[in-house]
């Protein structure tokens, strides 16, 4: 069975041109004029782009004996509805748990995925077992290792552990990722705020100021430099962190920054909302920032000092959020975004003139594929590439609302936002999962994407 996408304009990270695209066996088999196939998708007036890649999600993440509400099924369904055809999730070992053991758990959860996925492995503790298993994780197709500089007493690793892990990455051709906030200072600020009676969600933002993120980013960059590895900084939310990245890059260092769509488009006034639920639903780390920081992130995308746009999708329900009533430090950290990332970035980036269409593709798809070493299988419209494709209708509008979303979460942080620019069709390895508003996803269609260590290239 062949599918042809006809009459569209192909937009990739570096090209814009008119051509049809032929898909067969899950791959792109031809690009050119006047192609024919068994099934035809009409892309008139649309842009045919590489499907989005969200390099940072947490589906079915464990929390207090339950899980975040979007699992690999609903999460990837939401992704596809918004034009995203691949997610990279995080395998998170418990304290003392082996990496391979944790990986098995994530393997199990991901069997229901509607689109392809890959994993980052987190280094949540340090020891000989972790050291030994790291190359075995790489052998399993995972070349990226996440480190938390915050969440003290839980996921956080210290500088000496991080340096050891980064050096291990260097040896095995893997890339370290960091969640960059100074966990010691955050913990003290949290305790101080609680002691002063500030226990509401607004205190969450007070406990994690931009300075704390900037410092940790700067520190991680130094440690990576000393270890001789590149560095990928997740959820860059502030000018402070971005400045550290820019400064390192200006010295020729290889550092990538990942802003989230939330930080690009929402600000900290959300936490001052009188409704506890409204504010708590926006609790994530780092917290939303003010306008100055937003401007910085957009400029970074335009100039190339920031590389990719993610969501950190971690869909805690209002009920789960309420676990932190009376103590903001117990509000589970995370918001949704998978379904809205691409329409929101198009609306606020391309439609405003901040980003070109090619830069949009780079930021939402191609750069992730390159950095994570799965380009051009992913992130490309090329013959031979996986047929992960979004047919983007730049005229299509909607108002974002939880009422109609695919995500299992009971609210949406973008509730009420108008977007213009939405998928007409989304294809995952050739399968049309979204067809003009109709959801045709197939549970379990998604496959794990193995990624070679970069040193192997």
Alpha-carbon distance of 105 to 387, in angstroms, equals 28
Q: For the CB of residue 112, give the shortest distance to Zn ion in the complex, in Å.
A: 21
Minimum CB distance to a copy of itself smaller for 188 or for 319: 188
Q: 214 is in the binding site of which of a copy of itself, Zn ion, none (Cβ under 5 to 8 A by kind)?
A: a copy of itself
217 vs 335, beta carbon nearer a copy of itself: 217
Nearer of residues 46 and 260 to Zn ion, judged by Cβ: 260
Query: Closest Cα partner for 278 from 418, 419, 417, 411?
Result: 411
Among the listed residues 105, 170, 187, 194, the single contact to a copy of itself using CB under 8 A: 187
Which is closer to Zn ion, CB of 213 or CB of 312? Answer: 312
Angle at 86 between CA 80 and CA 92, to 5 degrees: 120
**DSSP conformational letter for 350:** I
Residue 312 interacts with which of a copy of itself, Zn ion, none, CB < 5 to 8 Å by class:
Zn ion
Token duo for residue 442: 């197939």
Pick from 256, 159, 91: which is nearest to 167 by CA?
A: 159
| Contact call for residues 197 and 234 (beta carbons, < 8 A) | no
Q: Token pair for residue 289?
A: 């920032």
Q: How far is the CB of 124 from a copy of itself (least distance, A)?
A: 18
Do the Cβ atoms of 89 and 312 come closer than 8 Å?
no
- With binding defined as CB under 8 A, does residue 189 bind a copy of itself? yes
- Beta-bridge partners for 4: 22, 40
Stretch touching a copy of itself by CB under 8 A, among 246-254, 319-327, 342-350, 419-427: 246-254
Residue among 201 and 287 whose Cβ is closer to Zn ion = 287
Residues 324, 330: contact at Cβ < 8 Å? yes
Q: Under the criterion CB under 8 A, does residue 226 sit at the interface with a copy of itself?
A: yes
**Chain residues 295-314 in contact with Zn ion, contact rule CB under 5 A:** 312
Cβ(203)–Cβ(196) below 8 Å: no
| Separation between Cα atoms, residue 28 and residue 148, nearest integer Å | 38
Q: Is the peptide bond before 286 cis (omega within 30 degrees of 0)?
A: yes
Q: For residue 237, report the phi and psi dihedrals to the nearest 5 degrees.
A: -115, -5
Show the DSSP H helices in 82-117 as ranges. Answer: 99-109
Binding mask 135-174 for a copy of itself (x = CB under 8 A): -----------------x-----xxx--xx--x-------
Question: Would you say the C-alpha torsion 315, 317, 323, 325 has a positive or negative sign?
Answer: positive
Of residues 68-97, which lie at the interface with Zn ion (CB under 5 A)? none
Instruction: Report the distance separating Cα 52 and Cα 308, nearest Å.
Output: 11
Rule CB under 5 A: say whether 246 interacts with Zn ion: no
Choose the stretch contacting a copy of itself; rule: CB under 8 A; options: 54-62, 294-302, 320-328, 430-438.
294-302
Query: Is 304 an interacting residue with respect to a copy of itself (CB under 8 A)?
Result: yes
**Chain residues in the site for Zn ion (CB under 5 A):** 179, 312
**Chain residues in the site for a copy of itself (CB under 8 A):** 13-17, 152, 158-160, 163-164, 167, 182, 184-185, 187-189, 209, 211-212, 214-215, 218-219, 222-223, 225-226, 243, 246-247, 249-254, 292, 295, 298-300, 302-305, 354, 366, 370, 375-376, 457
């Amino acid at each position: 069975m062949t599918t042809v996408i006809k009459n569209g304009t192909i937009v990739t990270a570096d090209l814009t041109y008119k051509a049809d695209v032929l898909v067969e066996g899950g791959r792109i088999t031809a690009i050119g004029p006047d192609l024919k196939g068994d099934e035809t998708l009409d892309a008139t007036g649309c842009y045919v782009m590489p499907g989005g890649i969200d390099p940072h999600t947490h589906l079915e993440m464990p929390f207090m004996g339950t899980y975040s509400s979007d699992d690999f099924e609903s999460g990837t369904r939401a992704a596809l509805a918004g034009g995203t055809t691949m997610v990279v999730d995080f395998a998170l070992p418990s304290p003392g748990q082996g990496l391979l053991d944790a990986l098995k758990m994530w393997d199990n959860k991901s069997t229901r995925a509607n689109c392809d996925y890959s994993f980052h492995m987190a280094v949540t503790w340090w020891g000989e077992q972790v050291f030994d298993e790291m190359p075995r994780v790489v052998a399993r197709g995972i070349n990226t290792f996440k480190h938390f500089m915050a969440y003290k007493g839980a996921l956080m690793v210290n500088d000496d552990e991080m340096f050891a892990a980064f050096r291990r990455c260097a040896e095995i051709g893997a890339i370290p990722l960091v969640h960059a906030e100074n966990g010691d200072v955050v913990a003290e600020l949290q305790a101080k705020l609680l002691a002063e009676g500030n226990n509401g969600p607004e205190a969450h933002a007070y406990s994690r100021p931009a300075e704390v993120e900037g410092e940790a980013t700067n520190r991680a960059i130094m440690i990576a430099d000393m270890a001789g590895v590149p560095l990928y900084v997740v959820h860059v939310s502030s000018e402070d962190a971005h400045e550290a990245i820019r400064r390192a890059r200006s010295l020729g260092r290889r550092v990538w920054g990942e802003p989230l769509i939330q930080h690009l488009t929402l600000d900290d006034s959300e936490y001052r909302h009188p409704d506890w639920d409204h504010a708590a639903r926006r609790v994530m780390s780092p917290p939303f920032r003010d306008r100055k920081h937003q401007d910085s992130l957009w400029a970074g995308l335009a100039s190339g000092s920031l590389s990719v746009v993610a969501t950190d999708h971690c869909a805690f329900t209002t009920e789960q959020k309420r676990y932190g009533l009376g103590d903001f430090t117990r509000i589970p950290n995370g918001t949704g975004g998978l379904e809205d990332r691409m329409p929101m970035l198009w609306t606020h980036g391309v439609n405003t003139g901040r980003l070109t269409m090619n830069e949009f593709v780079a930021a939402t798809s191609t750069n992730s594929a390159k950095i994570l070493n799965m380009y051009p299988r992913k992130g490309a419209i090329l013959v031979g590439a996986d047929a992960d494709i979004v047919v983007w209708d730049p005229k299509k509008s909607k108002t974002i609302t939880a009422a109609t979303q695919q995500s299992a979460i009971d609210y949406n942080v973008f509730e009420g936002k108008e977007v213009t620019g939405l998928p007409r069709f989304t294809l995952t390895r050739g399968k049309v999962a979204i067809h003009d508003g109709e959801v045709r996803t197939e549970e379990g269609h998604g496959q794990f994407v193995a990624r070679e260590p970069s040193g192997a290239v």
